[in-house]
Structure 1
Amino acid sequence: MKRNFKLGLLVLSAVFSGSALAQDLTGTWQSIYDKTGSPKAIIEISQEGNGSYTGKIVKITPRPGYTPQKTCNDCPAPYTNQPILGMEILKGLKHVDGTNNYERGRVIDPLAGKLYNAKVKLNATGKRLTLRAYMGVSTLGRNQTWIRLD
Protein backbone atom coordinates (compact mmCIF):
# COMPACT_ATOMS: atom_id res chain seq x y z
CA MET A 1 0.00 0.00 0.00
CA LYS A 2 2.77 2.42 0.95
CA ARG A 3 4.59 1.54 -2.27
CA ASN A 4 1.50 2.31 -4.38
CA PHE A 5 1.14 5.65 -2.61
CA LYS A 6 4.75 6.59 -3.45
CA LEU A 7 4.25 5.50 -7.05
CA GLY A 8 1.09 7.62 -7.25
CA LEU A 9 2.96 10.66 -5.91
CA LEU A 10 5.72 10.10 -8.46
CA VAL A 11 3.20 9.95 -11.33
CA LEU A 12 1.37 13.06 -10.10
CA SER A 13 4.68 14.89 -9.75
CA ALA A 14 5.58 14.05 -13.36
CA VAL A 15 2.18 15.18 -14.62
CA PHE A 16 2.28 18.48 -12.77
CA SER A 17 5.88 19.23 -13.70
CA GLY A 18 4.98 18.64 -17.35
CA SER A 19 2.12 21.10 -17.16
CA ALA A 20 4.38 23.62 -15.43
CA LEU A 21 6.71 23.41 -18.43
CA ALA A 22 3.76 23.96 -20.77
CA GLN A 23 3.15 27.31 -19.07
CA ASP A 24 6.38 28.79 -20.44
CA LEU A 25 5.40 31.46 -22.94
CA THR A 26 8.94 32.38 -24.00
CA GLY A 27 10.08 31.38 -27.46
CA THR A 28 9.46 31.97 -31.14
CA TRP A 29 5.89 31.96 -32.46
CA GLN A 30 4.27 32.08 -35.90
CA SER A 31 1.19 34.30 -35.83
CA ILE A 32 -1.71 33.23 -38.03
CA TYR A 33 -4.01 35.85 -39.56
CA ASP A 34 -7.47 35.11 -38.15
CA LYS A 35 -9.37 36.20 -41.29
CA THR A 36 -7.45 34.10 -43.85
CA GLY A 37 -5.60 31.45 -41.83
CA SER A 38 -2.31 32.40 -43.50
CA PRO A 39 0.98 32.98 -41.62
CA LYS A 40 1.50 36.64 -40.77
CA ALA A 41 4.68 37.25 -38.77
CA ILE A 42 7.17 35.55 -36.49
CA ILE A 43 7.15 36.91 -32.95
CA GLU A 44 9.76 36.30 -30.27
CA ILE A 45 8.38 36.35 -26.73
CA SER A 46 10.72 36.95 -23.81
CA GLN A 47 10.28 37.46 -20.08
CA GLU A 48 11.28 40.81 -18.61
CA GLY A 49 13.02 41.32 -15.27
CA ASN A 50 9.70 42.26 -13.63
CA GLY A 51 8.16 38.90 -14.66
CA SER A 52 6.01 40.28 -17.48
CA TYR A 53 6.23 39.04 -21.07
CA THR A 54 7.06 41.04 -24.19
CA GLY A 55 6.78 40.03 -27.84
CA LYS A 56 8.55 41.59 -30.81
CA ILE A 57 8.33 40.97 -34.55
CA VAL A 58 11.49 39.25 -35.78
CA LYS A 59 10.27 38.37 -39.29
CA ILE A 60 7.37 39.33 -41.51
CA THR A 61 6.08 36.26 -43.32
CA PRO A 62 5.73 36.83 -47.08
CA ARG A 63 2.25 36.21 -48.48
CA PRO A 64 1.28 36.09 -52.15
CA GLY A 65 -0.23 39.35 -53.36
CA TYR A 66 0.71 41.27 -50.22
CA THR A 67 3.33 44.01 -49.97
CA PRO A 68 4.28 44.41 -46.30
CA GLN A 69 3.98 47.82 -44.71
CA LYS A 70 7.42 48.98 -43.50
CA THR A 71 6.49 51.42 -40.72
CA CYS A 72 3.73 51.94 -38.20
CA ASN A 73 2.35 55.14 -39.78
CA ASP A 74 -1.03 55.50 -38.06
CA CYS A 75 0.14 54.23 -34.68
CA PRO A 76 0.05 56.24 -31.45
CA ALA A 77 3.27 57.36 -29.73
CA PRO A 78 5.74 55.78 -29.05
CA TYR A 79 5.03 53.54 -32.08
CA THR A 80 4.55 56.36 -34.63
CA ASN A 81 6.74 55.81 -37.73
CA GLN A 82 8.59 52.98 -36.00
CA PRO A 83 9.74 50.11 -38.28
CA ILE A 84 7.38 47.14 -37.96
CA LEU A 85 10.26 44.66 -38.15
CA GLY A 86 11.75 44.62 -34.64
CA MET A 87 8.74 46.37 -33.07
CA GLU A 88 7.56 45.29 -29.61
CA ILE A 89 3.92 44.55 -30.35
CA LEU A 90 3.07 42.76 -27.11
CA LYS A 91 3.86 44.15 -23.65
CA GLY A 92 3.04 43.62 -20.02
CA LEU A 93 1.53 40.13 -20.04
CA LYS A 94 1.48 38.62 -16.55
CA HIS A 95 1.10 34.91 -15.79
CA VAL A 96 -2.00 33.92 -13.81
CA ASP A 97 -0.77 31.48 -11.14
CA GLY A 98 -1.98 27.90 -11.45
CA THR A 99 -3.17 28.33 -15.06
CA ASN A 100 -1.90 28.52 -18.63
CA ASN A 101 -3.32 32.06 -18.87
CA TYR A 102 -1.60 35.41 -19.16
CA GLU A 103 -3.44 38.71 -18.66
CA ARG A 104 -3.11 42.49 -18.35
CA GLY A 105 -1.08 42.90 -21.53
CA ARG A 106 -1.25 45.38 -24.37
CA VAL A 107 -0.92 44.53 -28.06
CA ILE A 108 -0.65 46.85 -31.05
CA ASP A 109 -1.85 46.09 -34.54
CA PRO A 110 0.80 47.93 -36.58
CA LEU A 111 -1.25 47.68 -39.79
CA ALA A 112 -4.34 49.35 -38.30
CA GLY A 113 -2.52 51.58 -35.80
CA LYS A 114 -4.70 50.41 -32.90
CA LEU A 115 -3.68 49.51 -29.36
CA TYR A 116 -5.68 46.78 -27.57
CA ASN A 117 -5.84 45.04 -24.22
CA ALA A 118 -4.47 41.51 -24.51
CA LYS A 119 -4.67 38.18 -22.82
CA VAL A 120 -3.21 34.85 -23.84
CA LYS A 121 -4.18 31.25 -23.23
CA LEU A 122 -1.50 28.63 -23.83
CA ASN A 123 -2.76 25.15 -24.70
CA ALA A 124 -1.80 22.18 -22.49
CA THR A 125 1.08 21.09 -24.75
CA GLY A 126 2.56 24.59 -24.91
CA LYS A 127 2.65 24.44 -28.73
CA ARG A 128 -0.24 26.79 -29.49
CA LEU A 129 -1.51 29.98 -27.93
CA THR A 130 -4.64 32.02 -28.42
CA LEU A 131 -4.16 35.77 -28.21
CA ARG A 132 -7.34 37.69 -27.34
CA ALA A 133 -7.16 41.39 -28.30
CA TYR A 134 -9.98 43.65 -27.13
CA MET A 135 -11.01 47.15 -26.15
CA GLY A 136 -12.90 47.43 -22.89
CA VAL A 137 -14.75 44.12 -22.65
CA SER A 138 -13.00 40.89 -23.65
CA THR A 139 -16.17 39.45 -25.23
CA LEU A 140 -16.03 42.17 -27.91
CA GLY A 141 -12.52 41.27 -29.10
CA ARG A 142 -10.88 38.97 -31.63
CA ASN A 143 -8.71 35.89 -31.31
CA GLN A 144 -5.50 35.13 -33.13
CA THR A 145 -3.69 31.81 -33.02
CA TRP A 146 0.08 31.57 -32.72
CA ILE A 147 2.04 28.34 -33.21
CA ARG A 148 5.32 27.66 -31.42
CA LEU A 149 8.30 27.33 -33.78
CA ASP A 150 11.01 26.32 -31.28
Structure 2
Amino acid sequence: MLKRALLCTALLATAGMAFAADQKAEDAAGVWETASGGYVELYEDGDHWKGKIVGSKDGQARYDKKNPDESKRDRRLLGVTVLDGLSYAGDGKFEGGTIYDPNNGKTYKAKASQSDPDTLDVRGYIGISLIGKSQTWKRVDKNAEHVHQDLLE
Protein backbone atom coordinates (compact mmCIF):
# COMPACT_ATOMS: atom_id res chain seq x y z
CA MET A 1 0.00 0.00 0.00
CA LEU A 2 2.83 2.41 0.88
CA LYS A 3 4.61 1.55 -2.39
CA ARG A 4 1.44 2.39 -4.34
CA ALA A 5 1.06 5.72 -2.55
CA LEU A 6 4.69 6.62 -3.28
CA LEU A 7 4.29 5.59 -6.93
CA CYS A 8 1.14 7.70 -7.31
CA THR A 9 2.88 10.69 -5.72
CA ALA A 10 5.86 10.31 -8.05
CA LEU A 11 3.60 10.02 -11.11
CA LEU A 12 1.63 13.13 -10.15
CA ALA A 13 4.82 15.12 -9.59
CA THR A 14 6.21 14.00 -12.93
CA ALA A 15 2.96 14.90 -14.71
CA GLY A 16 3.02 18.36 -13.13
CA MET A 17 6.59 18.98 -14.26
CA ALA A 18 5.78 17.79 -17.77
CA PHE A 19 2.80 20.15 -17.91
CA ALA A 20 4.90 23.15 -16.84
CA ALA A 21 7.63 22.36 -19.36
CA ASP A 22 5.18 22.19 -22.29
CA GLN A 23 3.08 25.18 -21.25
CA LYS A 24 2.35 28.22 -23.36
CA ALA A 25 0.86 31.51 -22.20
CA GLU A 26 -2.36 30.74 -24.11
CA ASP A 27 -2.98 27.74 -21.84
CA ALA A 28 -4.07 30.16 -19.09
CA ALA A 29 -6.66 31.92 -21.25
CA GLY A 30 -10.22 31.33 -20.11
CA VAL A 31 -12.60 31.84 -17.22
CA TRP A 32 -11.46 31.19 -13.64
CA GLU A 33 -13.41 31.02 -10.38
CA THR A 34 -11.78 33.00 -7.57
CA ALA A 35 -11.78 31.97 -3.91
CA SER A 36 -14.77 34.27 -3.28
CA GLY A 37 -16.80 32.81 -6.17
CA GLY A 38 -16.20 35.53 -8.75
CA TYR A 39 -15.58 34.58 -12.38
CA VAL A 40 -12.56 36.28 -13.96
CA GLU A 41 -11.65 35.91 -17.62
CA LEU A 42 -7.89 35.86 -18.23
CA TYR A 43 -7.03 37.05 -21.74
CA GLU A 44 -4.15 38.45 -23.76
CA ASP A 45 -4.22 42.15 -24.60
CA GLY A 46 -1.23 43.09 -26.76
CA ASP A 47 1.96 42.12 -24.94
CA HIS A 48 0.25 41.68 -21.57
CA TRP A 49 -2.43 39.61 -19.90
CA LYS A 50 -5.49 40.97 -18.15
CA GLY A 51 -8.33 39.59 -16.10
CA LYS A 52 -11.82 41.04 -15.87
CA ILE A 53 -14.87 40.03 -13.89
CA VAL A 54 -17.37 38.26 -16.15
CA GLY A 55 -19.77 36.83 -13.57
CA SER A 56 -20.03 34.98 -10.29
CA LYS A 57 -20.96 31.53 -9.08
CA ASP A 58 -24.11 32.75 -7.34
CA GLY A 59 -25.08 35.26 -10.04
CA GLN A 60 -25.51 38.03 -7.48
CA ALA A 61 -24.65 41.61 -8.45
CA ARG A 62 -21.71 43.05 -6.51
CA TYR A 63 -20.67 46.67 -6.40
CA ASP A 64 -17.30 48.39 -6.00
CA LYS A 65 -18.20 49.76 -2.55
CA LYS A 66 -14.61 49.96 -1.27
CA ASN A 67 -13.11 51.76 -4.28
CA PRO A 68 -10.88 54.67 -3.16
CA ASP A 69 -12.51 56.77 -5.92
CA GLU A 70 -15.89 57.66 -4.41
CA SER A 71 -17.42 58.16 -7.87
CA LYS A 72 -16.89 54.44 -8.62
CA ARG A 73 -18.47 53.02 -5.46
CA ASP A 74 -21.88 52.59 -7.07
CA ARG A 75 -20.56 50.81 -10.19
CA ARG A 76 -21.21 47.16 -10.69
CA LEU A 77 -18.07 44.99 -10.62
CA LEU A 78 -19.17 43.10 -13.71
CA GLY A 79 -16.72 43.99 -16.49
CA VAL A 80 -14.14 45.58 -14.17
CA THR A 81 -10.49 44.69 -14.89
CA VAL A 82 -8.97 43.24 -11.72
CA LEU A 83 -5.74 41.80 -13.16
CA ASP A 84 -3.63 44.00 -15.40
CA GLY A 85 -0.20 44.13 -17.00
CA LEU A 86 0.91 40.53 -16.44
CA SER A 87 3.78 39.36 -18.64
CA TYR A 88 4.35 35.72 -19.47
CA ALA A 89 7.69 34.56 -18.04
CA GLY A 90 7.59 30.95 -19.28
CA ASP A 91 6.85 27.64 -17.56
CA GLY A 92 3.29 28.70 -16.73
CA LYS A 93 4.38 31.81 -14.79
CA PHE A 94 3.09 35.38 -15.18
CA GLU A 95 4.80 38.35 -13.51
CA GLY A 96 4.91 42.12 -13.31
CA GLY A 97 1.22 42.90 -13.12
CA THR A 98 -1.23 44.36 -10.66
CA ILE A 99 -4.36 42.99 -9.02
CA TYR A 100 -7.27 45.01 -7.68
CA ASP A 101 -9.05 43.63 -4.61
CA PRO A 102 -12.64 44.91 -4.60
CA ASN A 103 -13.07 43.61 -1.04
CA ASN A 104 -10.81 46.37 0.29
CA GLY A 105 -10.41 48.74 -2.69
CA LYS A 106 -6.64 48.30 -2.88
CA THR A 107 -4.36 47.45 -5.79
CA TYR A 108 -1.31 45.25 -5.31
CA LYS A 109 1.56 43.93 -7.38
CA ALA A 110 0.65 40.55 -8.84
CA LYS A 111 1.99 37.34 -10.23
CA ALA A 112 0.37 34.05 -11.18
CA SER A 113 1.37 30.51 -12.06
CA GLN A 114 -0.54 27.69 -13.65
CA SER A 115 0.27 24.40 -11.93
CA ASP A 116 -2.04 22.29 -14.11
CA PRO A 117 -4.58 22.98 -16.86
CA ASP A 118 -7.37 23.81 -14.39
CA THR A 119 -5.47 25.49 -11.52
CA LEU A 120 -4.10 29.03 -11.40
CA ASP A 121 -2.29 30.30 -8.31
CA VAL A 122 -2.60 34.09 -8.08
CA ARG A 123 -0.61 36.19 -5.61
CA GLY A 124 -1.10 39.83 -4.70
CA TYR A 125 1.70 41.46 -2.74
CA ILE A 126 3.24 44.66 -1.44
CA GLY A 127 6.88 45.33 -2.35
CA ILE A 128 8.27 41.80 -2.36
CA SER A 129 6.35 38.63 -3.01
CA LEU A 130 6.84 37.39 0.57
CA ILE A 131 4.46 40.07 1.87
CA GLY A 132 1.16 39.15 0.29
CA LYS A 133 -1.73 36.78 -0.10
CA SER A 134 -2.35 33.94 -2.55
CA GLN A 135 -5.52 32.42 -3.94
CA THR A 136 -6.03 29.30 -5.99
CA TRP A 137 -8.42 29.81 -8.88
CA LYS A 138 -10.14 26.94 -10.68
CA ARG A 139 -11.02 26.91 -14.36
CA VAL A 140 -14.70 27.29 -15.23
CA ASP A 141 -16.32 26.45 -18.55
CA LYS A 142 -16.91 29.72 -20.42
CA ASN A 143 -20.50 28.57 -21.01
CA ALA A 144 -21.19 28.04 -17.30
CA GLU A 145 -24.28 29.58 -15.75
CA HIS A 146 -23.76 33.23 -14.70
CA VAL A 147 -20.84 33.83 -17.10
CA HIS A 148 -21.82 36.90 -19.09
CA GLN A 149 -21.06 35.92 -22.66
CA ASP A 150 -21.23 39.52 -23.87
CA LEU A 151 -18.17 40.37 -21.75
CA LEU A 152 -15.89 37.61 -23.03
CA GLU A 153 -12.95 38.56 -25.24
**Is residue 2:85 matched to residue 1:92?**
yes
Pairwise CA distance, 1:74: 2.6
Pairwise CA distance, 1:78: 10
- CA displacement 1:4-61 (0-9 Å, x = unmatched): xxxxxxxxxxx6898235762211111124xxxxxx1111111002x21111111122
| Identity of matched residues, % | 30
Which of 56, 62, 85 is 2:58 aligned to? 62
Pairwise CA distance, 1:73: 2.8
Higher helix share: 2
Pairwise CA distance, 1:148: 1.2
Counterpart for residue 28 of structure 2: 25
Q: Which runs of 4+ in 1 moved over 3 A?
A: 15-18, 76-79
Question: In structure 1, what is the Cα distance between the partners aligned to 2:87 and 2:20?
Answer: 20
Question: In structure 2, what is the Cα distance between the partners aligned to 1:94 and 1:79?
Answer: 30
Which of 45, 61, 74 is 2:42 aligned to? 45
Checking the alignment, whether the CA contact within 8 Å between 1:23 and 1:122 is kept in structure 2 is: no
Counterpart for residue 6 of structure 2: none
Tell me the TM-score normalized by structure 1: 0.70
Checking the alignment, whether the CA contact within 8 Å between 1:22 and 1:126 is kept in structure 2 is: no
Counterpart for residue 10 of structure 1: none
Tell me the TM-score normalized by structure 2: 0.69
Pairwise CA distance, 1:62: 2.3
5+ long unaligned stretches in structure 2: 1-17, 142-153
Given residue 52 of structure 1, which amino acid in structure 2 is its aligned partner?
H
What SS does structure 1 have at the residue aligned with 2:87?
Answer: strand
What is the root-mean-square deviation of aligned Cα atoms in Å? 2.7
What SS does structure 2 have at the residue aligned with 1:24?
Answer: helix
**Is residue 2:136 matched to residue 1:145?**
yes
Higher mean C-alpha deviation, range 71-80 or range 133-142: 71-80
Counterpart for residue 102 of structure 2: 110
Question: In structure 1, what is the Cα distance between the partners aligned to 2:30 and 2:82?
Answer: 15
Checking the alignment, whether the CA contact within 8 Å between 2:24 and 2:92 is kept in structure 1 is: no
Question: In structure 1, what is the Cα distance between the partners aligned to 2:100 and 2:111?
Answer: 13
- CA displacement 1:61-83 (0-9 Å, x = unmatched): 229xxxx6732133245983332
